[in-house]
Structure 1
Amino acid sequence: MTLEFSHKPNYFMYAQLIIRHIESYIKMHPDAQNAIFDLRDIYHLFQEDFASTTTNLDGILNIADEYTVDTISGDQKIISQYNIDAANNRLLIDFNAEALDALKSGKKIIEPNANNYQ
């Protein structure tokens, strides 16, 4: 007897959720150059999907850091760097200053092309 089981997490959906969470964070904290999110908040954001909040989070963030905003200098990534601090249950995100300014001025977020990923 064979049991075929396949679970493919939707990294792009979760990356979109992270980016929208960041976008609302920037609106609430317009002077912020970085953010520190509690991983419990990310867990709830991901509808309590434990695997996506732990094991798959780095892969999700690799997609999320490809989101850009059109600036005077061309498309700039919103996330300049991130760090998952598992010991303190935190997600640390540094933002690109040019991208932040463009977001604050009303520019739209440009999503990465999902066809370029495997």
Structure 2
Amino acid sequence: MSLDFTHKPDYFLNAQLLMNHIVSYIKKHPDANNAIFDLRDIYEIFRQDLASTTTNLEGILNIADEYQVETINGDEKIISGFNIDAENNSLLIDFNQAALQALRDGKNFIPPDATLHQ
């Protein structure tokens, strides 16, 4: 007997939840050039999934940093960098300034294609 199954994680849902939170943050804080989130808030965004907030967070962020927005110079990534600070229980996200302005101007983000994920 052979069972075909995979343990490959699929983080696209949590990446989408995180990006929705980031866009909401950008709209509420129009002067922000970066964001610092408490990991307890991320835990709530991920519906209290501890593994997603700890062990799998970097994998989720690697998908989230592929989200783009249309700018006058073409599609640009929204996240230019991130840092998980476990000691201070925080997540620092740096934004691409052109993409940030496009989001402030009301453009919608473009998610990565989940079917191309390996």
Tell me the TM-score normalized by structure 1.
Answer: 0.92
Contact 1:71 1:102 in 2 (8 A): yes
In structure 2, the partner of 1:15 is 15
Equivalent residue letter for 1:65: D
In structure 2, the partner of 1:48 is 48
The two structures, once aligned, show a CA RMSD in angstroms of: 1.4
Would you say 1:29 and 2:20 are equivalent positions? no
In structure 1, the partner of 2:109 is 109
The number of residues matched between the two structures is: 114
Structure 1 residue 9 displacement after superposition: 4.6
Secondary structure, in 3 states, of the residue corresponding to 1:30? coil
CA distance in 1, matches of 2:34, 2:53: 20
Structure 1 residue 102 displacement after superposition: 0.5
Per-residue CA distance 1:18-73 (angstroms, 9 max, x = gap): 10000000010001000000000000110110000000000000000000000011
CA distance in 2, matches of 1:9, 1:53: 14
Secondary structure, in 3 states, of the residue corresponding to 2:115? helix
Equivalent residue letter for 2:67: Y
Unaligned 5+ residue runs, structure 1? Answer: none
Structure 1 residue 91 displacement after superposition: 0.2
Would you say 1:86 and 2:86 are equivalent positions? yes
In structure 1, the partner of 2:58 is 58
Secondary structure, in 3 states, of the residue corresponding to 1:63? helix
- CA gap of 1:44–1:9, structure 2 versus 1, over 3 A, is farther
- Structure 1 outlier segments of 4+, above 3 Å: 5-10
Equivalent residue letter for 2:83: N
Unaligned 5+ residue runs, structure 2? Answer: none
Equivalent residue letter for 1:88: N
Contact 1:9 1:52 in 2 (8 A): no
Give identity over the alignment, percent: 68
